[in-house]
Chain A
Amino acid sequence: MSLPANDRSNLDLETPEKPYLDSNELIINMGPQHPATHGVLRVILKLDGEKVLGTECVIGYLHRGVEKIAENRTYTMFNPYVDRMDYVAAVSNGLGYCEAVEKLMNVEAPPRAKYIRVILTELNRIASHQLWLGTHALDIGAMTPLFYTFRDREEILKIFEKYCGARLTTHAFRIGGCQYETYAGFEKDVKNFLTFVAPKIDEYETLLTTNRIWLERTKNVGVISAADAIALGVTGPVLRASGVQWDLRKAQPYAAYSEFDFEIPIGTNGDTYDRYLVRMVEMRQSLRIIEQAVNGIPEGPIMGKVPKVIKPPVGEIYHSIEAPKGELGYFIVSDGSTQPYRLRVRPPSFVNLQALDIMVRGMLVADVVAVIGTLDIVLGEVDR
């Protein structure tokens, strides 16, 4: 936009209080079709030049009415649907759902099933973090990590495929335990994966941890304090990077997590770099858990005593697990029939996304992309 030749009032440099250019706030639309929004997220940005004054998220493009569908399906029929919410961590979704219904029915999965669940869920956590790292680094401008992480994530998907026939939306668990016994060579595959992936995680770190561009783009970007994070209900690695040592696997252990030795990494600054570090350590801790689980996997049945027709008694339950993105909760109200009367999903991505505004205020447009990446949202789960 060129200024009229005789009008130089806007460029009067002697009065610095006066805006250099016409500084009416600029409203810019980002998404829903934008490669850096990880799906169909639309963000309306209010800008002053490159500086972000405020944001508003417009979501719902992927809304399929999962909660309504649940009310019209039996408990068993609804099980595969949960995989389609956070589709990069389908195993976690299934674990949360199955455990919630089990709790409502007052049954428990046998120990062997719990161990299989832990192994697969932790593998899935690594896969989810790998996908996050690859895409997040790509958003910021580092292309190599994407190829590294997708190469290694493939090994996890191969194990899933051999176990249950599906790679992404696995439907790995059933209410009461697991449908499938481990295949011959499962333990060997998992152990091979552990020795394979540990040096690969170091490799990702050599690419990024001390990379100057990475540091410039992530340090002090998208800072959120612990108090703000708690008020906004933020959970998962985002909360831990702000210095709150809270992980449901430790705080309220489910499945077999109380039997394993692992640590909860925390950050100090609550910035994008700390969230990166926290997730890197989490991957290594997941390896520790898998190693203990695969070495101690007990013999026994894989299905608990669950009737053929799932018919929980009248009542309600809230059960949540530590999904890779944060607290994933299911609130189920049963009226004693075969279908849930009401099933509410507490999605971590949805709640965490609400923190975007506070994290990007005062930052630059390019940082919005970095912060969307660091929040690790999956739109399938935000919109449900």
Chain B
Amino acid sequence: MAEEVKTPAPPPPPEGEKKPTAEKPVAAAPAAPAKPAAPAKPAGPVPLPWTSPLVEKYRSQYGSGLDAQTYLGQNYFSVDRSLIPDILRLLRDEEEFDYCVDITAVHYPKRERQFDVVWILYSFPRNERVRVKTQIADGASIASSVSIWATANWLEREVFDMFGIKFDGHPDLKRILLPDGWKGYPLRKDYGILQQDQEWVQINLGIESGQ
């Protein structure tokens, strides 16, 4: 995914190549169309730059801290971590993204900044969805959005519970699905599917193993 985010530049060339080659066969040989389709297939659809007045506005405001793309018709911003509370607040206050659908994270252990934190937003007046993504390092914290959307409370707690990402300014950041004393963050990639906090199980359940 790290590569994916950083490859908005390569995509346009394939698109540009595709068109002239596609026009050619129409004029010349009808058997040719299979060929341009073949190189496109392994790559699959690629994220394209997303252009809209909204993006232009934010780009002029934030410059390089913000990137906007669209993939399969869904738009998303990749923003710098430092912009996080501000851009979310602006999206709600000025662009009417009044409903925070979900907050979640994705773990990329090989990357320097290991986590993607993702906000999925929806606007009732515009009937439009947008995602906001940012990358943070393991152990780093990020600004809480509970003051922007009340729903963020439990959603951020779940992200903390599963990934160990801390949200600054959260009113009550503690585990939500797992017990309070549990060690480890299960949705990290280095946490095995059969792994569990043996010590917790032995002390609290009085059994050797929960497996």
Contact = CB atoms under 8 A, between A and B. Distances in A.
Interface string B1-20: 10010000000000000000
Contacts of A234: 151
B127 A251 contact: yes
Interface string A282-306: 0000000000000000000000000
B63 to A, nearest CB: 25
Residue of B74, B151, B176 ringed by the most chain A CB atoms within 10 A: B151
Interface of A is mostly: mixed
Contacts of A27: none
A251 to B, nearest CB: 5
Interface string B67-85: 0000110100000000000
Interface in B48-81: 71-72, 74
Contacts of A232: 150-151
A338 interface: no
Interface stretch (A31-39, A67-75, A127-135, A137-145): A67-75
Given A230-B124, A331-B104, A354-B153, A317 B44 contact: no
Interface residues of B, number: 40
Nearest to B148: A231
A318 B187 contact: no
A331 B120 contact: yes
A10 interface: no
B193 A68 contact: yes
Contacts of A189: none
A65 interface: yes
A342 B106 contact: yes
A329 B120 contact: yes
A182 B155 CA distance: 40
A69 B99 contact: no
The 7 closest A-B pairs by CB, nearest first: A313-B44, A233-B151, A60-B177, A346-B102, A344-B104, A231-B150, A63-B177
Interface of B: 1, 4, 43-45, 47, 71-72, 74, 98-102, 104, 106-107, 118, 120, 124, 127, 129, 131, 149-151, 153-155, 158, 162, 175-179, 186-187, 191, 193
13 contacts: A60-B177, A63-B178, A65-B186, A228-B150, A232-B150, A246-B124, A251-B127, A313-B45, A317-B72, A317-B74, A318-B101, A318-B120, A331-B120
